[in-house]
């Protein structure tokens, strides 16, 4: 298995992502802020229905679904599990938008990494 790390930070918002490739499949962990955690999990694959589960009291389901849809549209053909858990104390509306933009950017980088691999090279 290969693990690749990604990060982005602006002001109080810092996000980290890890991509674990297992054969043709991938596990992606996106976490950050002042209290990284697992708030939601999404799983799917090319042609498969997307399954999203959020833990009680967490708001990451919508972001997990959006990022998973991006991954499905990227041409990635394997199965994947994606976890999201981001908490920033007293977050502002502007910081929420920043979290969303940074998450999309990190997922774009991850999709690019996955596209650069062929079949068994992961």
Domain contains 12? yes
DSSP letter, residue 38: -
Percentage of the chain modeled with pLDDT above 70:
95
Please report the pLDDT score of residue 1 as a whole number. 85
Domain contains 109? yes
CATH of the domain at 48: 3.30.230.100
Token look-up 């849809």 returns: 69
Please report the pLDDT score of residue 43 as a whole number. 97
Q: How large is the average pLDDT for residues 105-119?
A: 86
61-73 helix and 93-116 helix, angle to the nearest 10 degrees: 30
Beta bridge partners of residue 76, listed in sequence order: none
**Tens digit of pLDDT for each residue in 18-33?**
999 999 999 999 999 9
Domain contains 122? no
pTM more than 0.85: yes
Of 102, 59, 101, the C-alpha closest to 84 is 59
First vs last C-alpha separation in the chain: 7
Band the pLDDT of 98: cuts 50, 70, 90: very high
pLDDT(39) > 80: yes
Q: How large is the average pLDDT for residues 42-64?
A: 93
Q: What's the structural domain count of the chain?
A: 1
Helix (H) or strand (E) holding 95: helix 93-116
> 102 is in which domain, residue-wise?
2-115
Please report the pLDDT score of residue 46 as a whole number. 83
Q: How large is the average pLDDT for residues 61-80?
A: 94
Domain contains 36? yes
CB of 19 closer than 8 Å to CB of 110:
yes
Domain contains 18? yes
CB of 80 closer than 8 Å to CB of 64:
no
Domain contains 10? yes
pLDDT(118) > 80: no
Of 71, 73, 75, the C-alpha closest to 107 is 71
Domain contains 7? yes
Query: Could you give the C-alpha distances from 26 to 35, 56, 80, 89, 107, in angstroms and in order?
Result: 24, 25, 5, 30, 12
């Amino acid at each position: 298995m290969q693990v690749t790390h990604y990060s982005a930070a602006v002001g109080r918002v810092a996000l980290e992502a890890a991509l674990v490739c297992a054969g043709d499949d991938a596990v992606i962990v996106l976490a950050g802020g002042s209290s990284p955690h697992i708030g939601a999990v999404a799983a799917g694959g090319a042609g498969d229905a997307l399954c999203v589960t959020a833990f009680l009291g967490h708001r990451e389901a919508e972001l997990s679904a959006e990022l998973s849809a991006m991954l499905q549209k990227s041409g990635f053909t394997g199965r994947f599990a994606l976890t999201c858990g981001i908490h920033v104390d007293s977050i502002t509306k502007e910081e929420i938008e920043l979290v969303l933009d940074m998450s999309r950017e990190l997922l774009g980088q991850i999709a690019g990494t996955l596209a650069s691999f062929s079949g068994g090279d992961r």
